[in-house]
Amino acid sequence: MGGSKESRIQDLRVEPGHKVRLGRLDADETGDFRDRGEAEALLRKDLERLAVLQERLYAEDRRALLVVFQAMDTGGKDGAIRHVFTGVNPAGCQVTRFKVPSAEEADHDFLWRIHHAVPNRGNIGIFNRSQYEDVLVVRVHNLVPPSVWKARYDQINRFERHLSETGTRILKFFLHIDKAEQKRRLQARLDDPDKRWKFSKTDLQERKRWSDYQAAYEDALTRCSTPWAPWHIIPANRKWFRNLAVARTLVATLEEMDPRPPRIHLDLSQLRLR
């Protein structure tokens, strides 16, 4: 995985058909970047470019971008969203956080609430957790029979392909931390009175299921990284690298989409501003 710093970031994509083994991936990895200051300077430039590209996407009003974030508890979904999207126009960007389904949501198929949150044309939609909860927590906690959640991989792939074919580009980020880093972050929440509200006893119960969640994530990442909706595994122990990797991938994707505002044909010689 050599090459330039830019290509090093792009190597984080999971190629379709590739079997993911999270235990073999270094969550401390920072690619060719060794200097945090340099990375943060590049991040500032990327965020400026992201703001420009988002404005063009909004003005074009023909396509949308859906960005999915998944991670183990304390993996940094909120932090990545806050840092990477800090400069975009809120009018063209919305964040949806998926919690335990409501009674109404539970009375529909598992993708019903997801489809309701898909971004409008011209917008960037951000999912903090997503449709993948139904092959992760549902699987780990045995909330439905295996025959049900096993069928969902193909159902998700078909759903995402439908979105892609109808104008929604999809990027999916798994923020990869290791178990030692999760312990450190949980302890930091307990030690900081201003962050203690984030801590829940259920965090400790879920931590006991670490291996089960890792296996569930490996299957989701392996079976649902497709040409139309690729997964990117972001080493996330180092928050500064996490933010840069997400931002660079977003900018590269929007550059490839090349959104263009509509041309307005005006005879400027006939216009007078008073």
Domain ranges of the chain: 5-259
Q: CB neighbours (10 Å) of residue 102?
A: 9
The token pair that represents 26 in the structure block: 């270094």
Question: Once rounded to an integer, what is the mean pLDDT over residues 83-103?
Answer: 95
Query: Could you say which DSSP state residue 167 is in?
Result: T
| Percent of the chain at pLDDT exceeding 90 | 85
Contact 66, 172 (CB under 8 A): no
- Provide the mean pLDDT of the chain: 93
The token pair that represents 90 in the structure block: 């809120």
Architecture of domain 5-259 in this structure: 3-Layer(aba) Sandwich (3.40)
Question: Once rounded to an integer, what is the mean pLDDT over residues 156-181?
Answer: 98
Q: Identify the pLDDT of residue 10.
A: 56
- How do residues 203-248 score in pLDDT, each as one tens digit? 999 999 999 999 999 999 999 999 999 999 999 999 999 999 999 9
Q: Identify the pLDDT of residue 262.
A: 87
Sheet strands (E) in 6-92 = 64-71
Contacting residues for 78 by C-beta, under 8 A, at least 6 apart: 128
Contacting residues for 12 by C-beta, under 8 A, at least 6 apart: 232, 233, 234, 235, 245, 249
Confidence of residue 7 (pLDDT cuts 50, 70, 90): very low
At position 217, the amino acid (one-letter code) is Y
Residue 32 predicted with pLDDT over 50: yes
Chain centroid to CA 193: 29
Contacting residues for 183 by C-beta, under 8 A, at least 6 apart: 207
